[in-house]
Amino acid sequence: MTFSSLGLNTSLLQALHRLGWVTPTPIQLAAIAPALLGQDVLGCAHTGSGKTLAFALPLLQTLSPQASRQPQALVLLPTRELAAQVGDTLRDLAQQLPVPVKISVVFGGVSINPQMMALRGGTQVLVATPGRLLDLVAQHAVKLDQIKWLVLDEADRLLDLGFAQELNQILALLPQQRQSLFFSATFSPAVQTLAHSMLHEPVWVDVRPDAAPPVDITQRAIAVDASRRTQLLRHLITQHGWSRVLVFVATKFAAEIVADKLRKGGATAEPFHGELSQGKRTQVLADFKAERLSVVVATDVAARGLDIAQLPVVVNFDLPRSATDYTHRIGRTGRAGLPGLAVSFVSAEAQSHWRLISKRHHLKVPLESVVGFEAQDEAPAPSTDPNAAGNGGIKGKRLSKKDKLRAQAASEGIDERTRHGT
Ligand code: AMP
């Protein structure tokens, strides 16, 4: 099957050819045709399986380049890096088209003025994170009343409580008549219900069960004492000659500490988290992609959607808070059909949480030991601390802002599972 069978016009087919994209991926095969017919789409496919082109192609084919100075298409994403990445893909395609299409990318953490200036010249496609978009609307730099296409990428994250208020504000600014395309690798039944309430008779496209796992992510779990994880990480990097590793930790503080320890051990390592300046975040990601850095120690701000070509290994130094986050984290490796390895460190106190993640994903991953790093700590007795229960059983963590929001929603009678994909 080729792209030409999907109803795409000649300009886009030539653009795809020039960019070296020959065969559509399963999500592209399933979603492009209904999107071109004007239908709403709720698309679910594994991480790294080509969701960006699945919405970018129909969008670029359908919009009218010179119709209006205000954007006709809005692509919303949860993180700045993802916005930049999706903007790049759209621009790569748009540059190949005979009639220019202007793509603007806006996100927080950087000065708003250049973004306001850029929008003054008009734009057709606006790629944005929700908070900055609302700032720009408030400053009258952009209007959303001409939007005909709304794309939510990493939709379940945007539908989560953490973004609910901003998303509702944005939806209220959009015309009722529009086409919506929502994509993610994970949609719990509850989030699907919520998404359906925002879509008009959507086509549900789920290519996960059909295709053999699109990627070959080997998963390993290693039992290790919490205090020995950095040493084990260093050992594994050296022993296996891992050229590039993305390491996930639970907090910004841990990202700094672990990166620092790795640097002291001779590795080129940097932290990546939400408290760094956007300039630093962009630099770290660029260095990692260009293989100038061998290790990035990140919080979950790097878990969603980031496309780091040929990243061979992801390590869960701390386990993710939820089974959904696990999917997104390990999906940073094994992308575009390449093999990948995901290693989770399981300390004694995280064992019950690991069992929950394994159960949710039907994983049959044995808990291994590495010689010289055998776990000595005992698993703690089940906690009666309500905070521990609220954060997925990871003992000793305080409730996050998001957990507090969930608790508040629960006390107000909103079932957490209807608002959160975990
Ligand atoms: P995405 O899931 O959109 O982030 O895409 C993951 C990776 O797959 C990116 O590196 C894309 O460039 C690549 N990709 C997307 N579509 C195709 C395709 N049809 N053929 C080959 N590679 C693709």
Q: Which of 22, 44, 53, 183 to mutate to test ligand 1, by most ligand atoms within 8 A of the CB atom?
A: 53
**Backbone φ/ψ region at 109: left (φ over 0), alpha (ψ -120 to 50), beta:** left
Residue pair 152/180 in contact by the 8 Å Cβ criterion: yes
Q: How far is the CA of 389 from the centre of ligand 1 (A)?
A: 38
Residues 50, 51, 52: CA angle, nearest 5 degrees: 90
Q: What is the CATH number of the domain that holds 35?
A: 3.40.50.300
Q: Which of 2, 17, 21 to mutate to test ligand 1, by most ligand atoms within 8 A of the CB atom?
A: 21
Supply the residue whose CA is at minimum distance from atom 6 of ligand 1: 48
Mark whether 26 and 169 lie in a shared domain.
Answer: yes
Supply the residue whose CA is at minimum distance from atom 11 of ligand 1: 50
Answer yes or no: is the C-beta of 52 below 6 A from any ligand 1 atom: yes
Residue pair 58/35 in contact by the 8 Å Cβ criterion: yes
Q: How far is the CA of 51 from the centre of ligand 1 (A)?
A: 7
Answer yes or no: is the C-beta of 219 below 6 A from any ligand 1 atom: no
> Around 352, how many Cα atoms within 13 Å sit in the side-chain half-sphere?
14
**Considering all CA atoms of the chain, what is the largest pairwise distance in Å, rounded to the nearest integer?**
67
Give the amino acid at 194. Answer: L
Mark whether 138 and 102 lie in a shared domain.
Answer: yes
Residue pair 121/36 in contact by the 8 Å Cβ criterion: no
Mark whether 181 and 223 lie in a shared domain.
Answer: no
Q: Which atom of ligand 1 is nearest to the CA of 3?
A: 19
Q: What pairing do the DSSP bridges indicate for beta strands 295-298 and 245-248?
A: parallel
Domain boundary among 147, 174, 206: 206
* pLDDT value, residue 169: 96
Answer yes or no: is the C-beta of 333 below 6 A from any ligand 1 atom: no
Burial readout 26-48 (b: 16 or more C-beta within 10 A, e: otherwise): bbbbbbbbbbbeebbbbbbbbbb
Asked whether residue 396 is domain-assigned, the answer is: no
Domain boundary among 172, 206, 240: 206
Q: Which of 1, 52, 55, 215 to mutate to test ligand 1, by most ligand atoms within 8 A of the CB atom?
A: 52
pLDDT tens-digit map of 325-354? 998 899 888 877 778 999 999 999 999 999
The size of the chain, in residues, is: 422
Mark whether 175 and 228 lie in a shared domain.
Answer: no
Q: How far is the CA of 353 from the centre of ligand 1 (A)?
A: 32
CA distances from 264 to 232, 250, 260, 287 (A): 15, 21, 6, 19
Mark whether 180 and 70 lie in a shared domain.
Answer: yes
Mark whether 274 and 295 lie in a shared domain.
Answer: yes
Domain boundary among 206, 240, 265: 206
pLDDT tens-digit map of 196-231? 889 999 999 988 753 333 457 899 999 999 999 999
Closest CA to 40 of 49, 30, 31, 51: 31
Asked whether residue 391 is domain-assigned, the answer is: no
Answer yes or no: is the C-beta of 153 below 6 A from any ligand 1 atom: no
Query: CA–CA separation, 258 vs 263, rounded Å?
Result: 9
Token code pair at residue 254: 């841990």
Asked whether residue 401 is domain-assigned, the answer is: no
Taking only the tens of pLDDT, the chain with its 422 residues reads 889 889 999 999 999 999 999 899 999 999 999 999 999 999 998 877 899 999 999 999 998 766 678 999 999 999 999 999 999 999 999 999 988 899 999 999 999 999 999 999 899 999 999 999 999 999 999 999 999 999 999 998 899 888 989 999 999 999 999 999 999 888 888 788 888 889 999 999 988 753 333 457 899 999 999 999 999 999 999 999 999 999 999 999 999 999 999 999 999 999 999 999 999 999 999 999 999 999 999 999 888 878 888 899 999 999 999 998 998 899 888 877 778 999 999 999 999 999 999 998 888 899 999 999 999 988 877 666 555 443 343 433 445 555 555 555 444 433 333 333 22
Answer yes or no: is the C-beta of 53 below 6 A from any ligand 1 atom: yes
Mark whether 158 and 251 lie in a shared domain.
Answer: no
* pLDDT value, residue 214: 44
Mark whether 52 and 152 lie in a shared domain.
Answer: yes
In the chain, the number of structural domains is 2
Mark whether 141 and 227 lie in a shared domain.
Answer: no
> Which residues form the domain of 284?
217-368
Asked whether residue 385 is domain-assigned, the answer is: no
* pLDDT value, residue 32: 96
Residues whose CB falls within 8 Å of the CB of residue 294, separated by 6 or more in sequence, listed in order: 237, 242, 243, 244, 245, 267, 268, 269
Asked whether residue 167 is domain-assigned, the answer is: yes
Q: Which atom of ligand 1 is nearest to the CA of 85?
A: 4
Asked whether residue 419 is domain-assigned, the answer is: no
Q: Which long-range contacts (CB under 8 A, 24 or more apart) does 26-31 make?
A: 26/207, 26/210, 26/211, 26/214, 27/51, 27/54, 27/183, 27/205, 27/207, 28/3, 28/53, 28/54, 28/57, 29/1, 29/207, 30/54, 30/205, 30/207, 31/55, 31/58, 31/181, 31/183, 31/203, 31/205
Mark whether 125 and 91 lie in a shared domain.
Answer: yes
Query: CA–CA separation, 81 vs 86, rounded Å?
Result: 9
* pLDDT value, residue 422: 23
Mark whether 239 and 280 lie in a shared domain.
Answer: yes
Mark whether 197 and 228 lie in a shared domain.
Answer: no
Asked whether residue 233 is domain-assigned, the answer is: yes
Asked whether residue 238 is domain-assigned, the answer is: yes
Query: CA–CA separation, 262 vs 250, rounded Å?
Result: 17
